[in-house]
Amino acid sequence: MQYQSQAVAKPYFIAAIGLFVGQILFGLILGAQYVLGDFLFPEIPFNVARMVHTNLLIVWLLFGFMGGAYYMIPEEAETELASPKLALAMFWIFLVAGAATIVGYLAVPYATLAELTGNNLVETMGREFLEQPLPTKVGIVVVALAFLFNITLTVLKGKKTAIATVLLIGLWGLAVFFLFAFYNPVNIVIDKFFWWWTVHLWVEGVWELILGSFLAFVLIKTTGVDREVIEKWLYVIVTLTLITGIIGTGHHYYWIGTPEYWQWWGSIFSALEPIPFFAMTVFAFAMVNRRRREHPNKVAVLWALGTGVMAFLGAGVWGFLHTLAPVNFYTHGTQITAAHGHMAFYGAYVMVVLMMISYAMPILRGRAANSNKSQVLEMWAFWLMTVAMVFITLFLTAAGILQVWLQRASDAPLPFMVAQDKIALFYWMREWSGVVFLIGLILYILSFFVEDKEEKAA
């Protein structure tokens, strides 16, 4: 690697992968609970498993973003990280806080956890995705600020490239919008209204900037295309993201008690949200086609192309599917949402973090790319996980369409649980796709330990 301090990215990447495994295991438990209602009850109730599954996802992606930033920023700014020690200290704080939170979720009932952690001081708990106890939320802010301080200082003392600037805007936005996690008004409409400022403006706003920036960085490194060209694309993507994504928040304001005009605003702007994702797909393929060199790390390029395609499908197409208010009237909160959520998170954020790891990890371990054998194994992992996710999405979509029909659209609508029973077949198929995903993930981890004997001998 070019700068010694880039090495701090390594523990972040390792922790990210470790927590990813946890997320998938809890996903499998959850998937089983859809069809075997009392599976692991009372040890791991459904609501707890769901909380662990989604919270682990967010936490490991944050580890991935931070690791990616620590790796990328010194190289972009062409200077050592301002404080590698601070970065390592924050790593341990975040890891311990994250682990303690998960243990808390699993060890005691949620209400007890709330009592123990001072939720009565500032009531922030009990809201989807923002379930973290107060100390964890404060910890996230502290870690985020120290992290931002570290990388911003690095950029300020070094070169300021467009890619680094976009990443900084994305990461600062991430921290700023998390502050709405502390705002929990009694009025449930206002509560939901601002809750989305964290949830939506993360994944359909500032996180997309992080995604674009990482993608641009890896494409510059692996294709050798001029920085000018790549940066211009990045600007276009960022602008499109912000035009569509910010007011696109309105697609969450259809039925929560907000004024009716949100049905128009939300529909119109969010209908265009696929465009920046489509631009990213075109961007990734255009740059790889115009490549000026063959980078030895082929699998990193595969992840880059993969994230371009899957983010467009998952976030763009599957998002559009139910974003218009008249459609959402029927699909709101059904398995259609779950289908979209799975492929969007995998395609946009899981794959981009894995791309970053795939590109950076070999260099952090002292080589430009992994051995051919290791790369082939990682490509198997790529295809297994990606195809499994496609099937998870398709089965959930089928389940969702049936659910909408049976429970909402038909002349004789069935009660929720009766409809759930009737779509159990699709839940089973989703669960088996999940098992294939886990096999892909195991292969992915094994690829880190493969050594090519011939190459070693040579």
- Whether 220 contacts 230, CB under 8 Å: yes
Cα 375 to Cα 84, 295, 370: the distances in Å are 30, 13, 6
329 belongs to the binding site for another protein (CB under 8 A): no
Stretch that binds another protein, among 74-82, 146-154, 176-184, 256-264 (CB under 8 A): 256-264
Structure tokens at 210: 């992080």
> Could you tell me which residues come within 8 angstroms of residue 54 by beta carbon, excluding any fewer than 6 positions away?
128, 129
Which residue in 264, 409, 418, 425 binds another protein (CB under 8 A)?
A: 264
Task: For another protein, give the closer residue by CB, 128 or 226.
Answer: 226
Eight-state DSSP code of residue 293: S
Cα distance between residue 406 and residue 308, in whole Å? 35
> Could you tell me which residues come within 8 angstroms of residue 167 by beta carbon, excluding any fewer than 6 positions away?
69, 72, 73, 209, 210, 213, 214
Q: Where are the alpha helices (DSSP H) in 36-133?
A: 46-77, 84-107, 110-116
In the complex, minimum distance from the CB of residue 382 to another protein, in angstroms, rounded to a whole number:
30
256 belongs to the binding site for another protein (CB under 8 A): no
Eight-state DSSP code of residue 252: G
The torsion defined by the Cα of 192, 195, 197 and 201, in degrees rounded to 10, comes to -110
User: Cis peptide leading into 42, omega within 30 of 0?
Assistant: yes
In the complex, minimum distance from the CB of residue 278 to another protein, in angstroms, rounded to a whole number:
11
User: Which residue is associated with the tokens 């159990």?
Assistant: 424
Task: For another protein, give the closer residue by CB, 77 or 234.
Answer: 234
* HSE-up (13 A, CA, CB side) for residue 239: 6
In the complex, minimum distance from the CB of residue 259 to another protein, in angstroms, rounded to a whole number:
5
In the complex, minimum distance from the CB of residue 218 to another protein, in angstroms, rounded to a whole number:
21
In the complex, minimum distance from the CB of residue 272 to another protein, in angstroms, rounded to a whole number:
6
- b/e code 14-27 from CB counts within 10 Å (16+ = b): bbbbbbbbbbbbbb
- Whether 382 contacts 302, CB under 8 Å: yes
Which residue in 100, 142, 272, 394 binds another protein (CB under 8 A)?
A: 272
Hey, which residues between 190 and 249 contact another protein (CB under 8 A)?
232, 235-236, 239-240, 243-244
- In 3-state terms the chain splits into helix, strand, coil percentages (rounded to 5) of 80, 0, 20
In the complex, minimum distance from the CB of residue 293 to another protein, in angstroms, rounded to a whole number:
24
Which residue in 271, 317, 379, 387 binds another protein (CB under 8 A)?
A: 271
In the complex, minimum distance from the CB of residue 232 to another protein, in angstroms, rounded to a whole number:
5
In the complex, minimum distance from the CB of residue 236 to another protein, in angstroms, rounded to a whole number:
5
Which residue in 2, 120, 186, 259 binds another protein (CB under 8 A)?
A: 259
Which residue in 147, 202, 265, 426 binds another protein (CB under 8 A)?
A: 265
Stretch that binds another protein, among 35-43, 170-178, 269-277, 404-412 (CB under 8 A): 269-277
How many chain residues are in contact with another protein, going by CB under 8 A? 19
260 belongs to the binding site for another protein (CB under 8 A): yes
Task: For another protein, give the closer residue by CB, 240 or 315.
Answer: 240
Task: For another protein, give the closer residue by CB, 271 or 387.
Answer: 271
Task: For another protein, give the closer residue by CB, 33 or 241.
Answer: 241
Where along the sequence are the contacts to another protein (CB under 8 A)?
232, 235-236, 239-240, 243-244, 259-261, 264-265, 267-269, 271-272, 275, 279
